[in-house]
């Protein structure tokens, strides 16, 4: 089997750009990462950003390119729209949108939309991670946690996304940390560790009684004033309280005992693994970077019979 380039896969987020040159044997021949996400590319030009990275990895002219993420948003390169849930993961590649006005076959994968009037929701990029992770999840019902600034919890039934819920945990943490009275309590604190007892206790308390979450948030302030709560432990309690509420909300949407999978990478992965352990939830862990590459590979194979 020849090992020359077969296609290019790209995860194009709001603030990040990741490109992989993939060989005919499926191996990664070259990789590029930059901060030229949708926000930057919308100003400088998507085609120009892509061409500069293709040149950097010496990609042959006319090589097919498959993109997931925010390049397909309304504010992106070409709007790729959404597939409505329930949606079969296998249907995602066929709904890819081809970029017009370029010689190469460049396609952008769609996102997923949940059009329930009582619980509308959207995702873009995570659907490709799901496509790549699905092979390792098996059949049956499963709850898939995909942490981030806006964490996604996906209700997966076999190879079909039955529904999903987005939790603004990361954004709320940043807003509360910077713009509420708790900013005084956590001033000077370091990064939250999943090994922190304060973090694990806060997670367990929020999962057990999520309705008390805003009260527990104020106790972070009171703890500093009355009990000498350190800034590090205060920050850990704030993080644990918010993540615990997220976990409780996600679990409330599925049958008790539904298996949970965690698709994540890096420091956030360690934090969520610790949080789920503190909530006595066993998980299957799948690397998010590997999942998105596998999802793009599955899409390329379906589109171009590679």
**Mean pLDDT of all residues in the chain?**
96
Residue 135 confidence (pLDDT):
82
Let me know if the fold of 1-112 is the same as that of 125-306: yes
Residue 252 has pLDDT above 60, yes or no: yes
Q: Are 92 and 65 in contact (CB under 8 A)?
A: no
Share of residues in the chain with pLDDT > 90 (%) = 95
| Mean pLDDT to the nearest integer, 197-221 | 98
Helix (H) or strand (E) holding 50: helix 46-56
The reply to whether the predicted model has a pTM over 0.75 is: yes
| Mean pLDDT to the nearest integer, 58-75 | 96
Nearest to 70 by CA among 116, 7, 16: 16
Q: Can you list the positions of beta strands (E) in the chain?
A: 5-12, 17-23, 28-34, 65-69, 82-84, 87-88, 97-98, 106-108, 111-114, 121-123, 141-146, 151-157, 160-167, 260-264, 283-287
| Mean pLDDT to the nearest integer, 62-66 | 96
Residue 305 confidence (pLDDT):
87
| Mean pLDDT to the nearest integer, 225-244 | 98
> Could you tell me the pLDDT band of residue 238, with boundaries at 50, 70 and 90?
very high
Q: Domain 125-306, what fold?
A: Nucleotidyltransferase; domain 5 (3.30.420)
Question: Out of 1-15, 233-247, 268-282, 287-301, which region has the weakest mean confidence (pLDDT)?
Answer: 1-15
> Could you tell me the pLDDT band of residue 2, with boundaries at 50, 70 and 90?
low
| Mean pLDDT to the nearest integer, 132-152 | 92
Q: What CA–CA distances, in Å, run from 153 to 179, 248, 251, 254, 299? A: 27, 11, 9, 11, 22
Residue 177 in tokens? 């940390």
| Mean pLDDT to the nearest integer, 300-305 | 95
Share of residues in the chain with pLDDT > 70 (%) = 99
CA 118 to chain centroid: 23
Residue 139 has pLDDT above 90, yes or no: no
> Could you tell me the pLDDT band of residue 187, with boundaries at 50, 70 and 90?
very high
| Mean pLDDT to the nearest integer, 168-188 | 97
Residue 1 has pLDDT above 70, yes or no: no
Domain residue ranges of the chain, discontinuous segments joined by +:
1-112, 125-306
**Domain 1-112: top CATH class:** alpha beta
* Residues ≥6 apart with Cβ < 8 Å to 72: 78, 79, 80, 81, 97, 108, 109, 110, 111, 124
Residue 137 confidence (pLDDT):
86
> Could you tell me the pLDDT band of residue 3, with boundaries at 50, 70 and 90?
confident
């Amino acid at each position: 089997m020849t090992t020359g380039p077969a296609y290019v896969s790209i995860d194009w987020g709001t603030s990040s750009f990741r490109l992989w040159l993939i060989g005919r044997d499926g191996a990664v021949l070259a990789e590029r990462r930059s901060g030229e996400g949708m926000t930057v590319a919308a100003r400088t030009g998507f085609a120009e950003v892509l061409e500069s990275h293709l040149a950097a990895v010496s990609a042959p002219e006319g090589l097919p390119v498959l993109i997931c993420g925010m390049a397909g948003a309304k504010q992106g390169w070409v709007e790729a729209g959404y597939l409505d849930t329930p949606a079969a993961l296998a249907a995602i590649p066929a709904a890819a949108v081809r970029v017009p006005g370029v010689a190469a076959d460049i396609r952008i994968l769609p996102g997923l939309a949940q059009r329930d009037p009582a619980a509308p929701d959207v995702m873009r990029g995570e659907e490709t991670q799901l496509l790549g992770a699905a092979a390792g999840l098996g059949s049956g019902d499963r709850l898939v946690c995909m942490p981030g600034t806006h964490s996604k919890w996906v209700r997966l039934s076999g190879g079909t996304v039955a529904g999903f819920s987005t939790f603004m945990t990361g954004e709320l943490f940043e807003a509360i940390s910077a713009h509420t009275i708790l900013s005084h309590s956590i001033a000077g604190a370091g990064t939250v560790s999943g090994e922190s007892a304060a973090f694990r206790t806060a997670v367990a308390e929020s999962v057990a009684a999520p309705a008390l979450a805003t009260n527990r948030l104020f106790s972070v302030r009171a703890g500093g004033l009355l009990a000498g709560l350190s800034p590090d432990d205060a920050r850990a309690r704030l993080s644990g309280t918010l993540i615990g509420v997220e976990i409780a909300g996600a679990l409330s949407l599925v049958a008790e005992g539904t298996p949970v999978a965690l698709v994540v990478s890096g420091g956030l992965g360690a934090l969520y693994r610790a949080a789920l352990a503190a909530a006595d939830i066993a998980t299957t862990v799948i690397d998010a970077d590997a999942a998105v590459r596998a999802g793009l590979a599955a899409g390329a194979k379906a589109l171009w019979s590679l």
